Amino acid sequence: MNYNVELSQEALRSLSRLDKQIAQQVLDRIKWLSFHIDDVNHKALTGHLRGAFKLRGRDY
């Protein structure tokens, strides 16, 4: 199963400020995660971020 990932305008602006190679790696990892999220350990966030999850994509 794959998931649809939508990036906020803020996320897109942040990506545009990164080196193009790094930004592409981030986008590639997000795409990979959309297909493999069930294979990744993630932690539920609390407080005002409840319903969101924290995960580590890779070491940069």
Task: Tell me the pLDDT tens digit for each residue of 1-42.
Answer: 788 888 999 999 999 999 999 999 999 989 998 998 888 888
Residue 17 is assigned to a structural domain of this protein: yes
Residue 34 is assigned to a structural domain of this protein: yes
**Rounded to an integer, what distance in angstroms lies between the CA atom of residue 57 and that of residue 44?**
15
Residue 28 is assigned to a structural domain of this protein: yes
Residue 18 is assigned to a structural domain of this protein: yes
Residue 36 is assigned to a structural domain of this protein: yes
Q: How many structural domains comprise the chain?
A: 1
Indicate if the alpha-carbon torsion angle 18, 20, 24, 25 is positive or negative: negative
Residue 4 is assigned to a structural domain of this protein: no
Residue 2 is assigned to a structural domain of this protein: no
Q: How far apart are the first and last CA of the chain?
A: 27
The domain containing residue 36 runs over which residues? 9-54
Residue 3 is assigned to a structural domain of this protein: no
Give pLDDT, residue 12. Answer: 96
Predicted structure pTM score: 0.71
